[in-house]
Amino acid sequence: MTDVLKRRFREQIMVMFGREPRKPVGPAQISAAAKTAHELKRMTNKNDLQAAKAHLRAHQETSNTWRNRRWITLILANLLFVVSFQFDIQILEGALTASRLIGFHSVDLNSGLQVILAHKHIIVNLVIGMTTMLVFWLLFGGRAFCSWLCPYHLLAEWAEKIHLYLVRKKLVTDQPMDRRLRSVFWLIFALLALLTGYTVFEAISPTGILSRALIYGPGLALLWVLALLVFEVFFSRRAWCRYACPIGLTYGVVGIFSPLRIKYKLDGCFHEGDCRKVCLVPHVLDTVIKGRAVATEVPIGPDCTRCGLCVDACPTGSLSFDIKGLSKLL
């Protein structure tokens, strides 16, 4: 990795913790190849560029390939919990927070950390389950947990569509909040577990509530989930996932080291912005804004959920899934 990309990667980590993306300033922050690409784009006739964009959009086939794969995976994975419990077939026992797959323990990383802080000692089975999940999500992209497995994420995605419809009708306006709040909430829930001896977050986590409700039946806690969705529909788009949920931040840290990521290629990009419009966490795609890319190929940061919506939306194929180190061997 070049010095430019290393600096960019450190910046992306800070963005994950809440800092706003910054435009690269100074010659040391942009590679020579990227400077050449940016200069060529600036020299391109605007009318020709607009005509090319219009041609692309007119001939672009609408693709929901990755979205459909993700929805199917998420639904089937959660249904496997239900089927295993209802028919007592013992394939996947428990819930998303803690489970056993054909005898192998698996524990959600954030839930495991909460339990360790609350009980103040190490439980062997807990560590084994956390290690299993750490290795799995290290391989498959960290925050991919959010978009490929979390049931609340799916409901929030549907709620977002309603929110955007209401915005277009000018019935509501989106109220963004400070993304640093998520890091603050992570610390608050960790301190509460440590000081009270109780996993406070697990009591209000919509991920855990929905997982248990699907498997064991609904309860009053679903009213809290409903309240969150209503808040997101009428006030702030995807508020829980973007500004509060510590699970996303925990898996984002895992994503720092994951080889699976989305990669951006500058040369073919027309900067039309379709990818940012559909992105579930659009701050990770600041590099696609005209003049922002520090190299001709830039990996998207660890806060990316690897949902694939940007890959589906990109008319030029400038965004694609990539496995670090493997693409060069192919």
5-34, pLDDT tens digit by residue?
888 889 999 999 999 988 876 666 788 888
Q: Alpha-carbon distance 283 to 303, whole Å?
A: 9
Cβ count near 137 (within 10 Å): 23
The answer to whether 190 and 114 have CB atoms below 8 angstroms apart is yes
Q: Delimit the domains of the chain by residue range.
A: 3-60+259-323, 66-253
With H, G, I as helix, E, B as strand and everything else as coil, classify residue 275: helix
Residue of 321, 320, 317 whose CA lies nearest to 269: 317
Q: Residue 131 CA to chain centroid, in angstroms?
A: 21
Mean pLDDT lowest among 92-106, 187-201, 309-323: 92-106
Torsion angle defined by CA atoms of residues 130, 134, 140 and 144, in that order, rounded to the nearest 10 degrees: 70
236-257, pLDDT tens digit by residue?
999 999 999 999 999 999 999 9
pLDDT confidence bin for 200, thresholds 50/70/90: very high
Q: What is the CA radius of gyration of the chain?
A: 21
Assessment of whether the complete model's pTM goes beyond 0.85: yes
Helix axes 206-216, 65-86, angle to 10 degrees: 50
Q: Alpha-carbon distance 304 to 294, whole Å?
A: 18
Q: How far apart are the first and last CA of the chain?
A: 18
Torsion angle defined by CA atoms of residues 287, 292, 297 and 303, in that order, rounded to the nearest 10 degrees: -20
